[in-house]
């Protein structure tokens, strides 16, 4: 990818769930893989919500809004199933759960994190935000302006606000851009470019790499999302057992690279061993390098594949189509520009 001046940005719809009530902390502590009770107000952590069998029912960033209130921020379109899962396990506890639309401004790299911190400060100082906060447009839940992730995180950072503050955030971003005097300090990504950044950084997405059949260790999320000292939580047994055995699972999330123009490859395409003899998995995400130098993708591949190494991609639903030679690698995809 050819380097562009400035910082890559894109608007990313996400879903949120505000969990509040006298038993909010106790309830979430028993459902989430992360130690949420240890979070200070304003603290954040990544967490998984697992099934009793240890499969992933939800993946979210959690921000503690108050002593007994939290917001869970997940990928766009995944909020409904996560809310349904949390409601299903809500038994004899005083907890409310309210869905909230989220507007997220996503970026990557240390400079991007610094920009988001600056925009967050401008946001809470803006008169429009103050008036919304003071009048209580949504009195049933707290308003929040949060920056998730860190500059050292290859998966990027995101400035997130509830949807009722979306107009305010967009106006702050527009004012910041106009005040830069035309300096190319930021550029906006289209859908393909945003997917390219996500794939290169190795971030799995709910509904693609993460489904209810996914085990946390398969997508490399255990270290980021699981506390082994917090006590019991739903699905803990499988996670702990696999960790004790070195997290050896049947498949692992890998990155794939291949040359453009050698065949039409779409999500769902089959990935085979280099000799074409055995099926390794299926492509879950595909994107083109904006410079046109390569194609990249993500796939959960059988552990018989040891990266780096060659694989074959068969476009379409069968193995009779034209094959595409690709290279499988560990994540993130080092050496590729972000």
**Secondary structure, 3-state, 119-156:** HHHHHHHCHHHHHHHHHCCCCCCCCCCEEECCCCCCCC
Position 224 in a domain: no
CB 51 within 8 A of CB 235: yes
Position 264 in a domain: yes
Q: Is the model's pLDDT at 183 over the cut of 70? A: no
User: What tokens does 244 get?
Assistant: 């004790």
- Confidence bin at 309 (pLDDT 50/70/90): very high
State the Cα–Cα distance between residues 216 and 210, nearest whole angstrom.
Answer: 9
Rounded to whole angstroms, what are the CA distances from 195 to 190, 202, 251, 320? 9, 10, 22, 28
CB 149 within 8 A of CB 12: no
Report pLDDT for 224.
92
Based on the fold, state whether residues 189 and 92 are members of the same structural domain.
Answer: yes
Three-state SS at 254: strand
Based on the fold, state whether residues 55 and 149 are members of the same structural domain.
Answer: yes
Based on the fold, state whether residues 94 and 31 are members of the same structural domain.
Answer: yes
Report pLDDT for 82.
98
CATH number of the domain at 141, please: 3.30.1360.120
Share of the chain above pLDDT 70, in %: 91
Q: Would you give the DSSP letter of residue 93?
A: -
Position 331 in a domain: yes
Based on the fold, state whether residues 267 and 193 are members of the same structural domain.
Answer: no
**pTM passes above 0.75:** yes
Q: Which domain holds residue 272?
A: 250-338
User: What is the number of domains present in the chain?
Assistant: 2
Kindly report whether the peptide bond that precedes residue 130 is cis, defined as omega within 30 degrees of 0. no
Position 230 in a domain: no
Report pLDDT for 7.
85
Based on the fold, state whether residues 34 and 163 are members of the same structural domain.
Answer: yes
CATH number of the domain at 288, please: 2.40.30.110
Q: Which among 173, 198, 223 is the end of a domain?
A: 198
User: For residue 266, with 0-12 CB atoms within 10 Å meaning exposed, 13-18 middle and 19 or more buried, which class applies?
Assistant: exposed
Position 145 in a domain: yes
User: For residue 318, with 0-12 CB atoms within 10 Å meaning exposed, 13-18 middle and 19 or more buried, which class applies?
Assistant: exposed
Rounded to whole angstroms, what are the CA distances from 220 to 16, 133, 252, 262, 306? 23, 38, 8, 30, 16
Q: What is the pLDDT of residues 10-22, one digit of tens each?
A: 999 899 999 999 9
Q: Which among 166, 181, 198 is the end of a domain?
A: 198
CB 50 within 8 A of CB 113: no
């Amino acid at each position: 990818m050819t380097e562009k001046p400035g910082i890559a940005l894109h608007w990313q719809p996400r879903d949120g769930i505000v969990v509040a009530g006298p038993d909010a902390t106790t309830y979430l502590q028993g459902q989430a893989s992360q130690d949420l009770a240890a979070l200070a107000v304003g603290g954040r952590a990544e967490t998984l919500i697992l099934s009793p069998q240890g499969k992933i029912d939800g993946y979210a960033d959690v921000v503690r809004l108050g002593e007994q209130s939290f917001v869970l921020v997940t990928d766009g379109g995944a909020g409904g199933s996560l809310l349904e899962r949390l409601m299903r396990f809500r038994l004899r506890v005083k907890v409310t759960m309210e869905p909230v639309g989220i507007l997220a401004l996503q970026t990557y790299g240390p400079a991007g994190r610094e920009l988001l911190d600056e925009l967050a400060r401008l946001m809470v100082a803006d008169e429009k935000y103050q008036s919304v906060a003071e009048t209580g447009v949504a009195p049933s839940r707290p308003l929040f302006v949060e920056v998730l992730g860190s500059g050292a995180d290859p998966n990027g950072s995101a400035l997130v606000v509830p949807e009722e503050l979306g107009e305010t955030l967009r106006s702050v971003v527009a004012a910041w851009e106009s005040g830069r005097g035309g300096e190319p300090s930021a550029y906006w990504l289209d859908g393909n470019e945003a997917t390219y950044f996500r794939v290169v950084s190795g971030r799995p997405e709910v509904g693609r790499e993460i489904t209810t059949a996914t085990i946390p260790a398969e997508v490399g999320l255990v270290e980021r999302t699981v506390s082994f000292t917090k006590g019991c939580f739903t699905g803990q047994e499988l996670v702990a057992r696999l960790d004790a055995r070195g997290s050896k699972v049947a498949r692992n999330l890998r990155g794939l690279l291949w040359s453009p123009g050698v065949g039409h490859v779409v999500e769902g395409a089959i990935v085979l061993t280099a000799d074409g003899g055995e099926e390794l998995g299926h492509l879950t995400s595909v994107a083109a390098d904006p410079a046109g130098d390569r194609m990249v993708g993500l796939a959960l591949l059988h552990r018989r594949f040891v990266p780096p190494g060659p694989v074959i991609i068969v476009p379409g639903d069968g193995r009779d189509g034209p094959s595409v030679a690709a290279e499988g690698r560990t994540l993130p995809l080092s050496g590729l520009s972000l």
